[in-house]
Amino acid sequence: MRPRLLVIAAFLAAVSAFAGAVWWYGYGAGLDQLEQRARSDLALASDSLTSELRRMREVAVLTADHPQLPPLLAGAVEAETVRPVLQEIADKTGALDIVLADRDGRAVLTTAGAPRINHSGRAHFARALDGALGLSHLVSPAYGRRTFVFAAPVFSDAGPVQAALIVYADVETVEAAWRGARPAVFFTDARGLIFLSNRSELVLRPRLHDQASGQLTPFVHYDAQTVGGHEVWRLDAGRYLPRRALHLTLDLPVIGMVGEVLLDAAPARQIAFLQAAVAAAICLTFGLLLLVATQRRRTLAMLNTQLEQRVRARTVELTVLNADLRREVAERRAAEALLQKAQDELVQAGKLSALGQMSAGISHELNQPLMAIRSFAENAQNFLSRDKPEVAAQNLGRISELARRMGRIISNLRAFARQEDEPPKDVDIVAVIDAVLEMIGPRVAQEGVQLHWTRPAAPVMVRGGEVRLQQVILNLVSNGIDAMEDSDPKVITITLAAEGPLTRVSVRDTGPGIAEPEKIFDPFYSTKAVGAAEGMGLGLSISYGLVQSFGGAIRGQNHPDGGAIFTVELQALRQEAAA
């Protein structure tokens, strides 16, 4: 017993290890797919940001060439004359503010009316004075919000830069288009500070721990690990960020930032868990089958050993008795003759017993024809004695018809009882239905069921097995009668229709219908009462397999006018084949 437990424990450990390997592989494959999506989302967010900043950069460059700026800087016109023009540009482009600053950094003109600050010493201003386009981002104290700043040089007619045109772009305007969208995306600058994001709780947090300032809200707590070459974060940051997320980065040197994305890794984990569960289930099933086979083999070996022991013991006994048997040859031969006679009598008795059982089974169906035959025979004798041979002939004709009917019943029962294992062949479905109705006729009459069946005049040939089709139709009709036990009226309707390459046989009842049509062909599913003589729930499942075995189909559903209807689709015999 203990070695067996050790083997089972080792097998379970191996299954666990295999399931873990499947989980790890599935998790890595799922992360590969998530990485493609994450890169696409990050690229889309980055393109949206750079497109908006590119638009503001073009506003700065084009406005710096405005013809009214040089006269303003030369003192030829007043600032109030030019302000409406720049204000209109700011309103149409969505700029937060447009500022004109001289070479000393003093604001000559501002459209938003913000406090005039000195821009000298700012990186973007210094770059503009060098004749290039300056770009920086900052939390502006003048506006109280995060801004992107573009500074374009304003050239004099002689050539040197005489001023800088500064355009402020509101970061919240850029974020508004994708705030709250999935996945979480944020952009960090060279200092490691998150400057903008579609998650407001991440804004202005130091992304890098070693550069965190005491005046800033610290970054969310996370643990990074590498899974299949992917960086996965385990986060503790509230409900708006995933607990486990795939982390990717994208350098954006044009704006001096790094885009980062956190994509929920839960789908990859769920798929990996599902794959691991399926793999473990398959291994456990295989192991259980192997255990059962091993146990069966061990049992067979034990029984074989016991049998061999009994054979050896019997051989010893037979060896001892062999001498005595030689002396009793004559008596044995006589005994063998008697034994042979007894065996023949037993065989004959078995045949009579089987005949008695069959007679008991079909006596109910043959009783009425036999009584009618007796009555017609007596009437024929009376008519012959009265010299009425024509009437006696009629009675004899009825006796002949009843005898044919009895022969047909017995033939149908014998055909139905035999085991059929032949491949599908051409079968007359009309004859099959007739045979079924003749077999189930007594029950139909006993249950008070009205049976509607319009028999076609010509045979309808289909591909199938005669006995198997009888079993299917008989099962459907019997189920219909069972379903109508408490119904009134009780009607069974059988229809036959040919549509192209298919022939459809429909059996409809007027019972309560099917409670769960999608389960009717499941094994052991039954709507009959628990404890009833019938109701194992295998009839429709077996019928489904029989119809499938010769390329047909069967389905059941509730009829719109009440009751249930079952339809069997069979392959019709092609006309050229029939010809």
CA angle 275, 277, 283 (to 5 degrees): 105
- pLDDT tens digits, 404-416: 666 666 655 555 4
| Residue 53 in this model has a pLDDT that exceeds 50 | yes
Show the 3-state SS of 392-430: HHHHHHHHHHHHHHHHHHHHHHHHHHCCCCCCCEEEEHH
Report the C-alpha gap between 29 and 45 in whole angstroms: 25
108 in helix, strand or coil? strand
| Average pLDDT over every residue of 166-185 | 83
Identify which of 53-57, 540-544, 573-577 has the greatest average pLDDT: 53-57
- CB contact at 8 A, 385 and 395: no
Write the secondary structure of 356-405 as one string of H (helix), E (strand) and C (coil).
HHHHHHHHHHHHHHHHHHHHHHHHHHHHHHCCCHHHHHHHHHHHHHHHHH
pLDDT at 375 over 70: no
Question: What are 500-538's pLDDT values in tens digits?
Answer: 889 999 999 999 988 888 888 776 666 665 444 445 556
> How many CB atoms within 10 Å of residue 547?
20
- Which tokens hold the place of 292? 């059962």
Mean pLDDT of all residues in 450-463: 91
Percentage of residues in the chain having pLDDT higher than 90: 18
Q: Quote the distance between the C-alpha of residue 574 and its chain's center.
A: 37
| Cα dist from 138 to 54, 487, 560, whole Å | 17, 83, 72
pLDDT at position 579? 41
Distance CA 141, CA 233 (A): 35
Each residue's pLDDT tens digit, 11-33: 888 888 988 888 888 888 888 89
Residue 533 is classified by DSSP as S
What is the pTM for the complete model shown? 0.47
46-73 average pLDDT score: 89
Report the pLDDT value the prediction gives residue 350, as an integer from 0 to 100.
32
CA distances from 313 to 17, 179, 307, 320, 477 (A): 51, 91, 10, 11, 58
CA dihedral 464, 470, 472, 474 (to 10 degrees): 160
User: pLDDT digit string (tens) for 187-229?
Assistant: 999 888 989 888 888 888 887 654 445 567 788 888 888 888 8
Q: How confident is the model at residue 496 (pLDDT cuts 50, 70, 90)?
A: very high
Is 173's pLDDT higher than 70?
Answer: yes
Q: Identify which of 72, 112, 113, 114 has the alpha carbon closest to the alpha carbon of residue 95.
A: 112
Element of type H or E holding 568 = strand 564-571
CB-CB neighbours of 418 under 10 Å: 7
Q: What pLDDT shows up at residue 508?
A: 94
Provide the 10 A C-beta neighbour count for residue 425: 12
Do β-strands 450-453 and 491-499 pair in parallel, antiparallel, or remain unpaired? parallel
The 10s digit of each residue's pLDDT in 302-324 is 888 899 899 988 888 888 877 77
Measuring CA to CA, which residue among 381, 385, 405, 409 is closest to residue 395? 381
Average model confidence (pLDDT) across the chain: 81
| Direct distance between the N- and C-terminal alpha carbons of the chain, in angstroms, rounded to an integer | 70
Tell me how far apart the alpha carbons of residues 568 and 503 are, in angstroms, rounded to a whole number.
8
Read off the pLDDT of each residue in 344-370 and give the average, rounded to a whole number. 45
What value does the mean pLDDT take over residues 160-184?
85
**Considering only CA atoms, which of 339, 402, 338 is closest in space to residue 367?**
402
3-state secondary structure of 460: coil
150 burial type by CB count under 10 A (0-12 exposed, 13-18 middle, 19+ buried)? buried
Give 150's DSSP letter: E
